[in-house]
Amino acid sequence: MQHITGRNPDRSGKTMTSNTIPNQPLRIAIAGLGTVGVALIHLVRNQAEMLEERCGRPLEIVGVTARSPDKDRGVDLNGVAWFDSADDLAVSDDVDVYVELIGGDEGDARTSVTKALKAGKHVVTANKALLAKHGVELAELAEEGGLLLNFEAAVAGGIPIIKVMRESLTANEVTRISGILNGTCNYILTRMEREGMSFEDCLADAQRLGYAEADPTFDIEGNDTAHKLAILAAMAFGTRIEADAIYLEGITKITVEDIAAAADLGYRIKLLGVATRTESGVEARVHPAMVPLGSAIAEISGVTNAVAVEGDSVGSLMLSGPGAGGEATASAVAGDIADIAKSRPGHQHGPVLGQPVATLAPHTRAPMARHEGGYFLRLQVADQPGTMAAIATRMASEDISLNSIVQRNADDDGTATIVLVTHATTEEAIRNALDGIRKDGRLMGDAQMIRIETP
């Protein structure tokens, strides 16, 4: 393995572009040799003959970088140049495509991708955090240089949703995009339902099995889903990416009792990312939701992801598949590389985000208070005469129509659990009613509120 510590510019001192001669090898650099990076190397090598036939040219991994050059990763790097710096690898004259698998929205990931694009290199990344924060500026750099910035693996792993949004649905006006975008959360909720395990126990088991990180906050609080949804919403509605404009709730407050109550009512709980075009802007939200048993989205279990799209011409469609894992993610990265290999010098590439950056509209956030739908409410209340009537009165004062109201059990401490399911109403009305119940002194502790989604 050749060890390289700095750039090797050509004799003119100018940066060479990635517009290589057709049928010449496409020279690939990989920054980050974790599970995905190693799986990508194996995939490119194992499928070398097939990839060359399909792309019309060989794919060659010429340079890599990672934290430790001495770590045994179970992959042969003989003949591959090792770079100590991701920035140096990104601008190397011996590289046509820079593959960023470092992760994070700043640091080496951002600087190396920026430098690669400025140096005329095509870029492939699986980094949803980077795109959610800096995707617009990076897309602009790519467009200015006539380069490809591909990121299929950044959203929903092996599901080809980015290509579908960017190419297949070009003629559609998308009105809604939603889905299960985090395998860790879906795995935990599936185990809680099937085995009656608590959230805490399921999380600990997911960490033991490698489905959850040692610090799982990014997943279980919904941030990971929000980053992916922000990218999809921008492509769906032609707006700039605004991850901070997404309403966010995680799954940490979901209990076994909630899951059992949902099943009794004909629902299953999933963490969903939902973005909808409304008259007041884009309503983008991530939160647990009840979906009807028997619906396609309710049947997505374990670490599987699913994305549903509604378009004016195509109607409704849903794609599902592995949302994470080394091989599935590497497959998506390899597909992005293959697209670059098939392109030719002088070819005008399509816009990174589905339409030119200059035409993207500012993101206008629709307030959650205007969200309309059904709601599941679980209330711990004082077990005394008049409580049910007081709750019903507060609901009626906000014009909330109740589909059902059930007292599930009375406890020895003088409290009872009340479960309500409403017909379609607004978020504002629900919150006002809960505030009123709390002011009446009927509510003991926090109320559980879960939105009902009808796919």
| 411-433 tens-digit pLDDT | 667 788 889 999 999 999 999 99
The answer to whether position 23 is within a domain reads yes
The answer to whether position 213 is within a domain reads yes
Closest Cα partner for 403 from 372, 370, 380, 377?
Answer: 377
Q: Alpha-carbon distance 72 to 94, whole Å?
A: 25
138 & 187 share domain: no
The answer to whether position 364 is within a domain reads no
Q: Where are the alpha helices (DSSP H) in 372-426?
A: 387-397
314 & 197 share domain: yes
The answer to whether position 163 is within a domain reads no
Is pTM beyond 0.85 here? yes
Range of the domain at 89: 3-158+327-359
231 & 142 share domain: no
56 & 84 share domain: yes
Find the CATH number of the domain harbouring 375.
Answer: 3.30.70.260
7 & 152 share domain: yes
Closest Cα partner for 271 from 216, 343, 205, 328?
Answer: 216
- Continuous segment of H or E residues that includes residue 311: strand 304-311
Find the CATH number of the domain harbouring 69.
Answer: 3.40.50.720
Q: Alpha-carbon distance 113 to 160, whole Å?
A: 22
Domain count, the chain: 3
Q: Where are the alpha helices (DSSP H) in 294-413?
A: 326-342, 387-397
Stronger pLDDT, 330 or 347, i.e. the higher one: 330
Query: What are the angstrom distances between the C-alpha of 192 and each of 220, 261, 321?
Result: 14, 13, 21
399 & 418 share domain: yes
210 & 332 share domain: no
The answer to whether position 337 is within a domain reads yes
The rounded mean pLDDT for the chain is: 90
What average pLDDT does the segment 52-60 reach?
Answer: 95
What average pLDDT does the segment 1-23 reach?
Answer: 49
Domain end: 293, 321, 349, which one? 321
150 & 228 share domain: no
202 & 245 share domain: yes
**Direct distance between the N- and C-terminal alpha carbons of the chain, in angstroms, rounded to an integer:** 53
Of the listed ranges 31-35, 209-213, 261-265, 356-360, the least confidently predicted one is: 209-213
420 & 375 share domain: yes
**Known catalytic residues?**
228
| List of residues 6+ apart from 13 with CB closer than 8 A | none
State yes or no: pLDDT of 246 exceeds 90.
yes
108 & 246 share domain: no
**Residues 158, 331: contact at Cβ < 8 Å?**
yes
Please provide residue 454's backbone torsions phi and psi, each rounded to the nearest 5 degrees: -110, 100
